[in-house]
Amino acid sequence: MVDFSVRILAISSPQHKNVSHGSKLDTMSEKTLKVSPYGTWTSELTTEVLNRRSFRLSQVRVSGDDTYWVETRSAQEGRNVLLRRRMDGRTEEVLPMTPDSELVDVRTKVHDYGGKAYTVIDNLIVVSHGGDGCLYKFDLDNPSAGLRRLTPKVAYRFADMTVDPVRGVVFAVLEDHTGAQSVANKLVSVPLDGSAARESSNIKVLWNEDDFVASPALSNAGEFLAFITWNRPQMNWNQAALHVAPLTFEGDFADHMVLLDDPEVSVTQPRWSLDDNLIHVDDSSGWANLYRTEGFVGANTAQGIASGDWKKNLRTRALHPSQKAFSAPEWRLGLHSYDNLDHDHLVAGWSEDGHFALGAIRLDNGQLETWETGWAPAGNVCCDDGRVVLLADSEQEPASIVQILDAKATVIRRAIESPLPKEDISSPQFLTWKNTDGSVCHGFFFVPTSASFKGPKRDKPPLIVTVHDGPTSANRAGLNLERQYWTNRGFAVLDVNFRGSTGYGRAYRDCLLGNWGIYDVDDVISGVRMLIEQGKVDKDKIAIRGSSTGATTALLAAAKSDLFTAVCSRHGICDLENVRDHAHKFASEYLGALLGATEDDDPKWKDRSPITWADQISASTLFIHGTDDPIVPVDQVRQMAQALQANGTTVESAEFTGEGHRLAKASSIGGSLQRELDFYRQVWGLKKA
């Protein structure tokens, strides 16, 4: 599965102009620029600056006048911290230490990818602590009571919580790891009085009939609970069902219905309008659009439940049918790209052809009004009493939390304070190109940009190709300082959104099913060839880098094309059979679907594994990996490195002790980036200016 400043009102999408190579430099005085080979430039954007000033922002929420979010702090070994900003501007860490004197790590391991690890309502916070997996509550109106544990210290994981203050429970997804052979995912209610911490039987199971459950959403009147389920081999962005259940006074299901369950449709993000119409997103049209179901108000009566009449007057319609994506694959629980602006409107974010936008949608007729804010939604969109808060970025601003109130936007928190002036920032060129089979793919191209340096007139820059992971996610055009780390040093960057990426419609994403390791590789190679033919990059200095599944694509591309002279694999999958055999429940059948391999003995498992093609890779290769990676065991990468070395390929490895499938410590993040820079310069014979 992943953060602004603004004016609203004007209604047109930001225009993205293509920037020709070096055109930014033409506006600066030639006398101020030092001529130095591309890839050798120095920059104020050092790894030390990135580590010292950066946070990962997520899980933005609002409650009354307060704004909440989670910061992942690499300086604290990746601890997730819950922060609150009050209306007067004060920002503070919210949670005290646990009863065991531990700092709270706001984290859940449900699905192993986690997601929504806290919820807040009327100054009551319920949070999952990563240290023990338990739920805790904290009352901001009674802070002296401290954190109170709600669940027992057993092999339970909780996520996606929503509080029912009337019944005194919190609805949540429970992932039960107490079974000897299997993991069970359930929808449960947990008492807020703490009784389940002493007696686990007080945790009430509401639904356990599917492999997975997510997104419990309580209606405003407290009468209905909506939720999502799906089953293997599907992922929730391929197929899922929408359920609704009327609740008894005790919080049990009085009845139940499946509102939507189509084998070709994914449904996500159930939420209730202020008038208790059920809103959801589904892709039945080929695009993830918003839908509204009316008829719930007044339907939860004894007579209506007994007769089943409560189901008969429900009416579902599309709010704004369009080729826009109002949702993305939900690798992490708790995504919501829309919220209630008022009784008549939703505020929502969407993507269209790689562009992201924010706007309001009328609930009565679906009319959409785009807000030209200059910012692109990049996470949760929240609203309380007309105050909109969202995670977003722009081409000039990094991921930030932004508040929009009274047609004005205020940056609440930036993920990083960039040291780069605008003259040092490379802006994206939005690209589309065709493969040899005529199919279209997408990407962003960034030229080397510096306020201090320029390349020699006849030289062309080295190219670094970035392959996103997922592989169902997508690269974004917003300011990414890791990307600028390269462009500010004289490298060009191509970010490829190959077939299979999200944001371009379901058909584009589904192209990759059965074709992973083929279409993605072809799209990357054709994009590089396009840039070479256009004379934009040095054909002898091309690197490809990727993380996780992105590294798989990168290694396969290097095996199938001699365009690349350097490869960087970050916690990359080299042996698909090995990862399949160690996969956690959530993604246990995902790789098979991507390959089109339904049986373990299908030859595709070997044929699409980079380790099978090690003897075809001549490009110098750098492996960056955590020694404690639970998804891609480090031994797999060591075997790949040995296979490459046996073929005479130059190999470097950087292993980071104690790190998992993503680097979390500041020293690891900075050290890996510096190692990668040194690697490229060494391979291409570039010396620092």
pLDDT-derived band at 180, boundaries 50, 70, 90: confident
Between residues 132 and 666, the one the model is more confident about: 132
Tell how many helices (H) and how many strands (E) occur in the chain: 13, 38
pLDDT at 664: 87
Query: Given a cut of 80, is residue 193 above it in pLDDT?
Result: yes
107-414 topology per CATH: Methylamine Dehydrogenase; Chain H (2.130.10)
CB 473 within 8 A of CB 498: no
What's residue 278's pLDDT?
99
User: What percent of the chain has a predicted confidence (pLDDT) above 90?
Assistant: 87
CA angle (381, 383, 389) in 5-degree steps: 55
Q: Which of 30-39, 89-98, 579-588 has the lowest mean pLDDT?
A: 30-39
Q: What is the CATH number of domain 422-684?
A: 3.40.50.1820
> What is the arithmetic mean of pLDDT over 585-602?
95
Q: How far apart are CA 146 and CA 677, in angstroms?
A: 47
Q: What is the mean pLDDT of the chain?
A: 93
Average pLDDT over residues 408-428: 91
Tens digit of each residue's pLDDT (9 = 90 or more) over 335-360: 999 999 999 999 999 999 999 999 99
The predicted pLDDT at position 408 comes to 86
pLDDT-based confidence at residue 13 (cuts at 50, 70, 90):
very low
Identify which has the larger pLDDT, 290 or 689: 290
Confidence of residue 3 (pLDDT cuts 50, 70, 90): very low
Query: pTM higher than 0.85, yes or no?
Result: yes
Give CA–CA dist 418/53, Å, rounded.
8
Domain ranges, ordered by start, for the chain: 107-414, 422-684
The residue-averaged pLDDT of 363-373 equals: 95
Q: What is the mean pLDDT of residues 79-84?
A: 97
Radius of gyration of the chain (CA): 25
Q: At what angle are helices 519-533 and 549-560 packed, to 10 degrees? A: 60
What φ, ψ does residue 129 adopt, rounded to 5°? -95, 120
**7 pLDDT more than 80:** no
- Summarize the confidence of residues 449-467 as an average pLDDT: 97
pLDDT of residue 53: 64
Whether 15 shows a pLDDT value over 70: the answer reads no
Q: What is the mean pLDDT of residues 7-35?
A: 46
25-30's contacts with Cβ under 8 Å and 24+ in sequence apart are 25/449, 25/450, 25/454, 28/423, 28/451
Structure confidence at residue 49 (pLDDT)? 86
Model confidence pLDDT, tens digit, residues 607-658: 999 999 999 999 999 999 999 998 899 999 999 999 999 999 999 999 999 9
pLDDT value at 8 more than 70: no
- Among 13-27, 35-49, 70-84, 211-225, the range scoring the smallest mean pLDDT is 13-27
Average pLDDT over residues 157-182: 96
For residues 103 and 76, give the distance between their C-alpha atoms in angstroms, rounded to a whole number: 11
Q: Looking at the predicted structure, is the pLDDT value of residue 10 above 60?
A: no
* Residue range 583-606: mean pLDDT, rounded: 95
Is 80 exceeded by the pLDDT of residue 16? no
Q: pLDDT value at position 24?
A: 46
Across the range 439-454, mean pLDDT stands at: 97
Across 267-287, average pLDDT: 98
pLDDT at 25 over 50: no
Distance, in Å, from the CA atom of 471 to the CA atom of 473, rounded to the nearest integer, reads 6
pLDDT, position 416? 87
Tell me if domain 107-414 and domain 422-684 are identical in fold: no
- pLDDT higher than threshold 80 for residue 168: yes
Q: Tens digit of pLDDT for each residue in 554-565?
A: 999 999 999 999
pLDDT band for position 181 (50/70/90)? confident
